[in-house]
Structure formats: C-alpha cells, structure tokens
Homo-oligomer: A and B are copies of this chain.
Amino acid sequence: MDYTYAPGRNHLFVPGPVNIPEPVLRAMNRNNEDYRSPAVPALTKTLLEDVKKIFKTTTGTPFLFPTTGTGAWESALTNTLSPGDKTISFLIGQFSLLWVDQQKRLGFDVDVVESDWGEGAKLDVLAAKLAADPSHTIKAICIVHNETATGVTNNLAKVRKILDDYRHPALLLVDGVSSICALDFRMDEWGVDVALTGSQKALSLPTGLGIVCASPKALEAAKTAKSYRVFFDWSDYLKFYKIGTYWPYTPSIQLLYGLRAALDLLFEEGLDNVIARHARLGKATRLAVEAWGLKNCTQKEEWVSDTVTAVMVPPYIDSAEIVRRAWKRYNLSLGLGLNKVAGKVFRIGHLGNLNELQLLGCLAGVEMILKDVGYPVKLGSGVAAASAYLQNAIPLIPSRI
C-alpha cells in the first residue's frame, strides 16, 4: 500500500497538506458514529463557537462544509452573488487564477486585476475602480490573503480602508486558505464578509473541511443571491442550526473530532503564539534563501509570506528537478513552481504544526539538493543564517518551563 517507502519521517514541506500532529491523528482514529445522536450536535456546537476564534470574529457565522478549498470558494460566491454580478478579482498567482476561473465559470462578470507573479494585489487599481463606480455596480471584491503559488501576502487592512474611503458597499470575499491560523487575520476588524480556509492547511488536519465564515452582511446578501446552489447552500445549514441538529447531510465524524483536537492545540499554544511561530519560521526561511544567494519570488518585503516561500532558481536550473530530487533522495516534499513560474521556483511550505528544528532539517536538505543540481551553494550557510536568528528568537515552550 505504501508504494514508495523510505526510512525515517517524510519531511513534508509543501504548502499544504501539512503535518498532522499526533493528538489530532489520535482524535480521528475512531469508528463512525450516528450523527443524529445527541453527541454529535453537542460536539458541533463547541466547534462552531470555537472556530470563530480562528477568524477573529464574534459576529460571523461559520459553516463546516465537507469539501475542499475549491468548494469553499464556490460556497462563498454562490451564496452571495447572482449570475452576471460584477466582481473585482485580483490575479497574482496560480490559486487566485483558479479562483478567477471559477468566478467566470459560475457566471459572474469578473473584472480581473492582474499583477506580475511575485507581486501583491494592485490596490491602487482597486481604488481607481471604486472611484469609477459611484452606482455600486461592483458587488464583490475577491482577493486571496496569501497566494500560495508565489508566497505573496496581501494587505487586507488596506483593502478595507480603500472600500471605506469610497464608502463602497461591495462585499469583501477573502481566500484565507494558506493564511488563517498562521497569519494575522481579523475578520471583524477588517470587515471581511466571507472568509474561508481548508482543513489541510494551517489547521493541520486531513483534507475534507472547507471552513467558511460569513458576516451578517454576507448572510443578508445570501437571501437574494440567485446563484443555483444546494450542497453549498448556507440556508440549509442555517435551518439545521436553528433546530439544533446542525447537519443538513452527513458530516465526517472523524474530522469533527479532529477539528476539536486541532482547535484545542491551537488555543493551548495561543493563537498569537501560533502566528509568532509562523513569523519566525518565515523569517528564518527567507534568511536562508538570502544566504544561499537566491531570490525570493516575492518582489517586495511588504508582501513576504510567513507560510510559504517561493524560491527562484537561476535560469540554468530546472526547479522541478529540485523537487523531484528532494523526494527521491532525501524524503523531502517541496512544492513545485506552478504555471507561469513552473521550472523557475520551488516552494517551501512552512505552515501548520511545525517547529524550528523541522524547518532546519528541511533547509539542510535544500542545501544539499542545490549542490546536487549544480548550484554553488555553501553547505551550512542557510542553516547558519536561520539558526543565528532563531537561536535568539525561539521562546521557551510554555508547558515545559
């Protein structure tokens, strides 16, 4: 069944799916249950209450869809918009591209604002477009918080500010797939109307939950949105929330218990500490890249991502060969360059339930691979740069002091 056994741990550094912590694996190691017994609603109630904390919302309404991020996108769009509605959507990499594609195929009138890959969303263009829309034909702004393909983090506070500056009522729909639970995310403060993530990202669960959180304004929009939807329809959920059984159809019992465990671990660590840990891991990675003499795909410091780093390789190297070699020789899983940056970047995911020594093992591996493929790296240089920073920055583990 394991076609490709190798000794020791797989070093999983793709930007999702990420490592599942043992307590979560344990929590999911269970038989099915009747989801109509009193036990599952009781569990679900705590999940819906607690999951709001990872969105930093008190007014939002969460939905735990048995789906992936792609499905969560679809839920965000079809519940709030009607075919033909005009959206502004920022295309800055492969995942925002796929979301744009979905928006178009679902029948919306998408105004795509494209950036060079490696750059953030062009927020000045947003301002211009809002300025030119006094009649409020723009119904929604669609933006990824963190573009997983290029390691670019957009400034959502600024998006909100622009919308506010123009008093524009467009909904703000945010893909937080590779940000929520890892980067600073503030649904209420930033006036996000729909935010969404997937379980296999910073929550460190298996794939299978598309977690969508809707603001009161989004729920209001759902009442008139005319997009066809059933599986992804919020209204079915809301009906079952009201009667207290919570599920319009069968949830994954295992993922519910897994989510409970994952949230417990996040809260035990402290959400702010989790975000600080990601900041450390991100910075350490960037310091290593710099020490290797390589460039980050992210073009400006303001956009750097603390969950994924896309590393650019010199033209004479095929980044796909780095990824292949990582897997074939070092049991290390790195992310490929996608689409426009295929062959040009490889990606190091550093999100989820991960610590510094794991990352340093990965960086040591990357160094050897770089040498393998003919890049003149000084072995140990990246690890040294990262360690020099981390040795000062890592806090004591609170439970062990």
Interface centre among A11, A74, A83, A231 (most CB of B within 10 A): A231
Annotate A238-273 by CB proximity to B: 1 below 8 A, 0 otherwise. Answer: 000000000011111111010011000100110000
Q: Mark A34-48, 1 if CB is under 8 A from B, else 0.
A: 111111001100000
Interface residues of A in 153-180 (CB under 8 A from B): none
Chain A residues 189 to 208 lying within 8 A of chain B, measured CB to CB, are 198, 200, 206-208
Q: Nearest B residue to A257 by beta-carbon distance? A: B1
Q: State how many angstroms separate the Cβ of A247 from the closest Cβ of chain B.
A: 10
Q: Are B9 and A19 in contact (CB under 8 A)?
A: yes
Q: Is A390 an interface residue (CB 8 A)?
A: yes
User: For residue A124, which residues in chain B have a CB less than 8 angstroms away from its CB?
Assistant: none
* A333 in contact (CB, < 8 A): yes
Task: List residues of chain B with CB within 8 A of the CB of A4.
Answer: 37-39, 42, 397, 399-400
Segment at the B interface, from A61-69, A85-93, A137-145: A61-69
Contacts of A29 in B (CB 8 A): 22, 25-26, 29
Of residues 69 through 116 on chain A, the ones whose CB sits less than 8 Å from some CB of chain B are: 69-71, 73-74, 83, 101-102, 105-107
- Which residues 356-399 of A have a CB within 8 angstroms of B? 356-362, 364-365, 367-368, 371-372, 378-381, 383-385, 387-388, 390-391, 394-397, 399
- The segment from A217-225, A296-304, A308-316, A324-332 that touches chain B is A324-332
Task: Decide if A17 touches B102 in the complex (CB within 8 Å).
Answer: no
A387 touching B379, Cβ below 8 Å: yes
B207 A66 Cβ-Cβ under 8 A: yes
Q: Quick one: which of A229, A252, A365, A384 has the most chain B CB within 10 A? A: A252
Q: Is the CB of B31 within 8 A of A12?
A: yes
Contact with B along A5-34 (1 / 0, CB 8 A): 111111110101111111101111111111
B1 near A260 with CB under 8 A, answer: yes
Inside 8 A of A23's CB, which chain B residues have their CB? 2, 5
Q: Is the C-beta of A59 less than 8 angstroms from some C-beta in chain B?
A: no
Closest chain B CB from A48 CB (angstroms):
15
In the complex, A118→B235 CA distance in Å? 29
Q: Which B residues are CB-close (under 8 A) to A391? A: 368, 371-372, 379
Given the complex of chains A and B, what is the CA–CA distance between A361 and B27 in angstroms?
Answer: 28
A78 to chain B, nearest CB (A): 8
Q: For residue A106, which residues in chain B have a CB less than 8 angstroms away from its CB? A: 228, 230
On whether the beta carbons of A364 and B355 are closer than 8 Å, the reply is: no
Chain B neighbourhood of A397, CB < 8 A: 4, 6, 328-329, 331
Closest Cβ of chain B to A103, distance in Å, is: 9
Q: Given the complex of chains A and B, what is the CA–CA distance between A380 and B391 in angstroms?
A: 12
Q: Which B residues touch A42, using CB under 8 A?
A: 3-4
Q: Given A31-B10, A208-B255, A391-B368 in contact, is the A355-B331 Cβ separation under 8 Å?
A: yes
A-B complex: 10 closest residue pairs judged by Cβ atoms: A380-B384, A361-B361, A8-B355, A17-B32, A360-B364, A34-B333, A380-B380, A368-B391, A379-B387, A207-B252
What 12 new A-B contacts, CB under 8 Å, besides A32-B200, A68-B250?
A7-B353, A16-B250, A66-B208, A67-B67, A71-B71, A74-B231, A207-B253, A227-B228, A228-B228, A364-B387, A378-B384, A379-B391
